[in-house]
A = this chain, B = another copy of it.
Amino acid sequence: MFKVDLKKKILDANEQCAFENTKLLAGKKVFCLNMISSPGSGKTTILAKTITNLKAKLKIAVIEGDIKTDIDTQKIKTTGAPAVQINTHGACHLSAEQITAGLHNLPLDKLDVVIIENVGNLVCPTDFELGENAKLAVLSVAEGDDKPAKYPAIFSKSKALLINKMDLLKVVDFDLERVKADARRLNPGLEIFPISAKTGEGMQNWYDWLLDQAGQNPR
């Protein structure tokens, strides 16, 4: 029987496009992160705080993926950073082709970093390379400490993990050491930063890491 592996064909086409994005970003010496989490982990708040606090050191732009609204892009624009909205109209992840369009609407010559805020979904975006230098996972303590065990792919493929909403740690059941151990079992080199974008706790460690990553590719 003739059988077409459709998922593989779709991913191959996406990866070819992702490769073109990687070349474009490298040519402009722009460091790119693909930020992936469940809905409501605090991605946009983290980004707004990061852009504001690193304004003097890093020129950051954001590509916002959202099914329907531009709520997050409006929040990012209040920081003064360039932000491009991509609406997926029901789709559960961003594709490399959408990122190509987004990149062409950003002033890449003036940027150090592009952060892609993917659609809120801990599963599907993990399969689609966008041309980024690294994936950045975000988990909030309110989501529970079994998530690396239950959704291993994103924890395996990320370069760093932000554990957000640490200000809620005392009022939720969340074993931070279990999460660290489970995530590092999947990915021994994973950098883990417990943070609270709301209170500022731990944010400097994440800033230092981002500055270091971006600095490895100076303009």
Task: Please name all residues of chain B whose beta carbon is closer than 8 Å to the beta carbon of A68 when the two chains form the complex.
Answer: 149-152
The answer to the question of A90 belonging to the interface, with a C-beta cut-off of 8 Å to chain B, is yes
Shortest beta-carbon distance from A72 to chain B in Å:
8
Task: Please name all residues of chain B whose beta carbon is closer than 8 Å to the beta carbon of A146 when the two chains form the complex.
Answer: 69, 71
The answer to the question of A210 belonging to the interface, with a C-beta cut-off of 8 Å to chain B, is no
Known: A122-B120, A124-B124. A143 touches B40 (CB 8 A): yes
Task: Please name all residues of chain B whose beta carbon is closer than 8 Å to the beta carbon of A120 when the two chains form the complex.
Answer: 38, 122-123, 150-151
Task: Please name all residues of chain B whose beta carbon is closer than 8 Å to the beta carbon of A38 when the two chains form the complex.
Answer: 38-40, 120, 122, 143
Q: Pick the contact of A121 from B121, B152, B167 — CB < 8 Å?
A: B121
The answer to the question of A11 belonging to the interface, with a C-beta cut-off of 8 Å to chain B, is no
- Asked if B144 and A40 sit within 8 Å, CB to CB, the answer is yes
The answer to the question of A1 belonging to the interface, with a C-beta cut-off of 8 Å to chain B, is no
How many subunits of this chain does the assembly comprise? 2
Task: Please name all residues of chain B whose beta carbon is closer than 8 Å to the beta carbon of A66 when the two chains form the complex.
Answer: 150
Shortest beta-carbon distance from A166 to chain B in Å:
12
Known: A121-B121, A123-B121, A142-B165. A39 touches B172 (CB 8 A): no
Shortest beta-carbon distance from A35 to chain B in Å:
16
- Asked if B90 and A92 sit within 8 Å, CB to CB, the answer is no
- Asked if B171 and A92 sit within 8 Å, CB to CB, the answer is no
Residues of A within 8 A of B (CB): 6, 38-40, 66-69, 71, 90, 92, 119-124, 140, 142-144, 146-147, 149-153, 165, 167-168, 171-172
Given A69-B150, A121-B123, A124-B124: 16 more A-B contacts, CB < 8 Å:
A38-B40, A39-B144, A39-B147, A40-B140, A40-B143, A40-B144, A67-B152, A68-B150, A71-B150, A120-B150, A121-B121, A121-B122, A123-B124, A140-B142, A142-B142, A142-B165
